[in-house]
Chains A and B, each alone.
Chain A
Amino acid sequence: MKSDKVLDAKGLACPMPIVRTKKAMNELESGQILEVHVTDKGAKNDLDAWSKSGGHDLLEQTEEGDVLKVWIKKG
């Protein structure tokens, strides 16, 4: 899936993945897509909950080994 910005948050421990995601999202326009890569186990549920809470759309997610990739569309 195409994205407007890719955030590499691999190896970062909670809360950093969401802290960085929030910051990266701030730099995007509404409708643009942020692609986030994480390895932290808790990040999956947190990204889902954070997106909902912030009015964004979690479009897709894939798991490649240890790495979770999500695509979030800014609301």
Chain B
Amino acid sequence: MAVQALTANEVTQKIFNKVPLFILDVRNEHDFSDWKIEGHDVDHLNVPYFDLLDGVEDILENIPSDKEVLVVCAKEGSSVMVSEMLSETGLSVSYLKGGMKAWSEHLEPVKVGDLQDGGEVYQFVRIGKGCLSYMVISNGEAAIIDATRMADVFIDFAEGKGAMITHVFDTHLHADHISGGRIIAEKTKATYWLPPKDAEEVVFDYQPLEEGNDIIIGNTKIKIQPIYSPGHTIGSTSFIVDDQYLLSGDILFIDSIGRPDLAGMAEDWVGDLRKTLYSRYKALSKDLIVLPAHFMIIDELNEDGSVGQKLSTLFTENHGLNIANETEFRHLVTDHLPPQPHAYQEIRETNMGKINPDEEKQREMEIGPNRCAIR
């Protein structure tokens, strides 16, 4: 029967459309337990490829005939081999082109909405890792927020929209992924903005973000308003775009809140986090649509694949925003912190410009899911 190669984009569409999938993951058990492809109706079977070298007969009974079968490995090689063995027994299977490496890097652009005077906001969903980046386009100008390291994807997208990238922002110094912000700014001669309190050790030039200094995109005054919102990092900054969207960085997510310890400062920053969430954000318009920098679980995606929700809804439904007792809040935030993101210290140093790992090393540093939230 047939062996089909599916691209990360095609698999992402199936995940967005909740297509039932059976994934035969032939990586070793340690890597599989670290992270895997997630979706609403996704079943997994993990059998390392080297246990299948003599044949696939033993696992045939575990492979369902009523859903699509996708074979997945780290880079593609082993999944191709196993797919061919399975197809020789009569099964129709697909393999993920580029493997989990491609899955980790795939960005799916999703339109979030329109701006009041024309123009659009796009969200780039990095489905394999949970990172969310944004592009605000108006009148031939584009601004990018929290770009991931796949710089060309953003540059090509803006070009396809006939927009010139003029401003590139990071809401904070990221620890879970390598930012593409500086590279994009260098390649396009755009201005690169960082919150100064997070940037004390950076070795390159940047423009400091300051509350009160709004940035205008396009002729039609798209306001990007920085709001100082510490707690995830000391300098974390949110943006209100066009008085409609609140880009909350890693302070507030759809189903959780940001963790304050990624620079080892959990105890000190809990107070900042609470003030940002319970005072600063409380004072903002409830109709703002919150667009965070990460999603944690597939349930946070809307029907169209986007991640976003009204601030009023979050104030009602997000547990982290509804803990009246401050001591209880402190415990929630500091007691059950998940382990630090993989290689976080090296990632921060890369984002500061202090080290310059090659592409292969960058890939290795980013393997695995993000762990930016309190669950």
Residues of A within 8 A of B (CB): 13-16, 18-19, 22, 41-42, 45-46, 49-50, 53
When C-beta atoms are compared, the residue in chain B nearest to A21 turns out to be: B50
When C-beta atoms are compared, the residue in chain A nearest to B78 turns out to be: A15
B97 to chain A, nearest CB (A): 15
8 more CB-based (< 8 A) A-B contacts, given A15-B77, A49-B30: A14-B78, A15-B78, A41-B364, A42-B74, A46-B50, A49-B29, A49-B48, A50-B48
Chain B residues with Cβ under 8 A from A16's Cβ?
77
- A-B pairs, top 9 by smallest CB distance, nearest first, are A15-B78, A50-B50, A49-B28, A14-B77, A18-B50, A42-B74, A13-B77, A15-B81, A15-B49
Chain A residues with Cβ under 8 A from B49's Cβ?
15, 18
Chain A residues with Cβ under 8 A from B29's Cβ?
49
Q: Cβ of A42 and Cβ of B50 under 8 Å apart?
A: no
A-B contact pairs, 8 of them (CB 8 A): A14-B77, A15-B77, A15-B78, A18-B49, A19-B53, A22-B50, A45-B28, A49-B28
Chain B residues with Cβ under 8 A from A41's Cβ?
360, 364
Chain A residues with Cβ under 8 A from B50's Cβ?
15, 18, 22, 46, 49-50, 53
B301 to chain A, nearest CB (A): 30
Chain A residues with Cβ under 8 A from B74's Cβ?
14, 42
When C-beta atoms are compared, the residue in chain B nearest to A19 turns out to be: B53
Query: Once the chains are docked, how many angstroms separate the CA of A50 from the CA of B364?
Result: 22
Q: Cβ of B75 and Cβ of A42 under 8 Å apart?
A: yes
C-beta contact mask, B42-54 vs A, less than 8 Å → 1, else 0?
A: 0000001111010
Say yes or no for B73: interface residue by CB 8 A criterion.
yes
Q: Cβ of A22 and Cβ of B53 under 8 Å apart?
A: yes
Say yes or no for B31: interface residue by CB 8 A criterion.
yes
Chain A residues with Cβ under 8 A from B81's Cβ?
15
Give the contacting residue for A14; candidates B75, B360, B364; CB below 8 A.
Answer: B75
Query: Once the chains are docked, how many angstroms separate the CA of A12 from the CA of B349?
Result: 33
When C-beta atoms are compared, the residue in chain B nearest to A50 turns out to be: B50
B101 to chain A, nearest CB (A): 10
Q: Cβ of B48 and Cβ of A13 under 8 Å apart?
A: no
Query: Once the chains are docked, how many angstroms separate the CA of A19 from the CA of B50?
Result: 8
Query: Once the chains are docked, how many angstroms separate the CA of A33 from the CA of B220?
Result: 73
Q: Cβ of A14 and Cβ of B73 under 8 Å apart?
A: yes
A2 to chain B, nearest CB (A): 26
A35 to chain B, nearest CB (A): 18
With A41-B360, A45-B30, A46-B28 already in contact, the answer to whether A53 and B75 are too (CB < 8 A) is no
Chain A residues with Cβ under 8 A from B77's Cβ?
13-16
When C-beta atoms are compared, the residue in chain A nearest to B29 turns out to be: A49
Q: Cβ of B31 and Cβ of A45 under 8 Å apart?
A: yes
Chain B residues with Cβ under 8 A from A18's Cβ?
49-50, 53
Query: Once the chains are docked, how many angstroms separate the CA of A45 from the CA of B53?
Result: 17
When C-beta atoms are compared, the residue in chain B nearest to A51 turns out to be: B50
B287 to chain A, nearest CB (A): 49
Query: Once the chains are docked, how many angstroms separate the CA of A39 from the CA of B49?
Result: 19
Query: Once the chains are docked, how many angstroms separate the CA of A46 from the CA of B50?
Result: 8
Query: Once the chains are docked, how many angstroms separate the CA of A14 from the CA of B28?
Result: 12
When C-beta atoms are compared, the residue in chain A nearest to B363 turns out to be: A41
Query: Once the chains are docked, how many angstroms separate the CA of A50 from the CA of B74?
Result: 16
Query: Once the chains are docked, how many angstroms separate the CA of A8 from the CA of B14?
Result: 41
C-beta contact mask, B76-117 vs A, less than 8 Å → 1, else 0?
A: 011001000000000000000000000000000000000000
